[in-house]
């Protein structure tokens, strides 16, 4: 089955192949016109682009490839200016914009600042003062506009990601985020076989609480429960709200006994919380350790069966899932 590729991966592969296809003919043109140094430089850039594209295609990792490609673009542009003369400075604009696409704005601006200083050193004796100043001004303007655009895009992407994975009421993660986390934890398990567990918890008799105190108080209690649990668990063990009054905790790397212990601590913490005890609010929990070969859905289903048992046998308790 073909792996699902992120948009960044797809664009990186497309850009890498296009760059390779556009630059490769120049290797031959330069070579046959006796420009061996430039032909070698073009061959270096072209080979770099192709190998980075293959690496992204195979590993899916765009971070390392993005840093390398940024430097290939910038160094390629500087060497071109050095070998072929000052008029080649026009290549600095696409090279610098490429860096904004590949890296975070703060890293892109740093690399481009270094590139601008090096360009200035290369060109200071070759351009008239007026052209030199105009070149620097246009470089600064290009960077300023690219920075603003790239920064805004980054913020918008972060906002969209937050909206797509967060539960607006409790500010915990949502079901979609849980599905992604389950995939990730299972892939990790397949690599290192490290035990891992999940906890499914549900507020007891929440309908009665809603009915007697109103939906608004019900909402506030949901927020309070999420807040108390988030404060108690490690920052790495994310909390997910997957239904009205149902939450999941993924204590990654916890054995079934450790997860049960954590479960009991959470249960007693909620039961004895001064803000919640006046509503007689308690929780029931189901704990399941991951079994080799099972899907995330099946893992969650076993935890749900354990939770059901906790509900059936009196509530305000933790039950452990059977292994198949
Ligand atoms: N206030 C509030 N209530 C919600 C929300 N989502 C679901 N609920 C309520 O949660 C209640 C869940 O009721 P049930 O599924 O019967 O479960 P329960 O009353 O907790 O009973 P047990 O789970 O068997 O202990 C329903 O009354 C829902 O309306 C929400 O976002 N806010």
Q: How much is the pLDDT for 4? A: 65
Ligand 1 contact, 310 CB (< 6 A) = no
Range 175-320: architecture per CATH: 2-Layer Sandwich (3.30)
Ligand 1 contact, 283 CB (< 6 A) = no
Structure tokens at 234: 């490690």
At 158-175, the pLDDT tens digits run 999 889 999 999 999 999
Whether residue 185 contacts residue 250, with contact meaning beta carbons closer than 8 Å, is answered with yes
Residues 107, 109, 114: CA angle, nearest 5 degrees: 100
The three-state secondary structure class of 241 is strand
Complex confidence, ipTM: 0.96
Model confidence, pTM: 0.71
Q: How much is the pLDDT for 59? A: 86
To test ligand 1's pocket by mutation, which of 203, 205, 206, 285 has the most ligand atoms within 8 angstroms of CB? 206
Measured distance between the N- and C-terminal CA atoms of the chain, rounded to whole angstroms: 28
At 88-98, the pLDDT tens digits run 999 999 999 99
Ligand 1 contact, 215 CB (< 6 A) = yes
Give the nearest ligand 1 atom to 217 CA: 1
Q: Which residues of the chain have pLDDT under 70?
A: 1-4
Q: How much is the pLDDT for 156? A: 95
Ligand 1 contact, 286 CB (< 6 A) = no
Rounded to the nearest 10 degrees, what angle do helices 92-102 and 105-123 cross at?
Answer: 160
Whether residue 56 contacts residue 65, with contact meaning beta carbons closer than 8 Å, is answered with yes
Q: How much is the pLDDT for 3? A: 58
Chain centroid, CA 142 distance in Å: 28
Tell which phi-psi region holds residue 253, choosing left (phi > 0), alpha (psi between -120 and 50) or beta: left
Ligand 1 contact, 219 CB (< 6 A) = yes
Residues carrying CATH 3.30.70.270, the chain: 175-320
266 closest CA partner among 280, 288, 249, 279: 249
């Amino acid at each position: 089955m073909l792996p699902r590729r992120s948009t960044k991966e797809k664009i990186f592969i497309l850009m890498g192949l296009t760059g390779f296809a556009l630059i490769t003919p120049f290797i031959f043109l330069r070579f046959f016109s006796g420009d061996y140094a430039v032909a070698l430089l073009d061959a270096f850039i072209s080979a770099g682009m192709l190998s980075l594209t293959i690496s992204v295609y195979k590993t899916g990792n765009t971070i390392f490839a993005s840093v390398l490609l940024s430097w290939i673009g910038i160094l390629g542009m500087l060497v071109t200016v050095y070998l072929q003369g000052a008029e080649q400075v026009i290549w600095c604009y696409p090279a610098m914009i490429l860096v904004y696409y590949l890296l975070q704005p703060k890293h892109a601006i740093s690399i481009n600042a270094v590139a601008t200083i090096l360009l200035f050193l290369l060109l200071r004796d070759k351009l008239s003062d007026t052209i030199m100043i105009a070149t620097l001004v246009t470089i600064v303007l290009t960077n300023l506009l690219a920075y603003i655009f790239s920064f805004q895009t980054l913020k918008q992407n972060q906002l969209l990601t937050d909206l797509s994975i967060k539960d607006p009421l409790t500010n915990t993660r949502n079901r979609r985020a849980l599905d992604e986390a389950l995939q990730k934890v299972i892939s990790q398990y397949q690599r290192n076989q490290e035990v891992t567990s999940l906890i499914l918890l549900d507020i007891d008799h929440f309908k009665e609480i809603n009915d007697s105190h109103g939906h608004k108080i019900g909402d506030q209690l949901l927020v309070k429960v999420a807040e108390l649990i988030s404060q108690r668990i490690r920052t790495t063990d994310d909390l997910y709200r997957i239904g009205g009054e149902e939450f999941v905790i993924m204590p990654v790397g916890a054995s079934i006994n450790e997860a049960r212990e954590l479960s009991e601590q959470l249960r007693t913490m909620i039961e004895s919380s001064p803000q919640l005890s006046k509503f007689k609010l308690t929780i029931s929990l189901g704990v399941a350790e991951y079994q080799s070969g099972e899907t995330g859905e099946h893992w969650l289903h076993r935890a749900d069966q354990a939770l059901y048992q906790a509900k059936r046998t009196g509530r305000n308790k933790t039950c452990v899932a059977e292994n198949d």
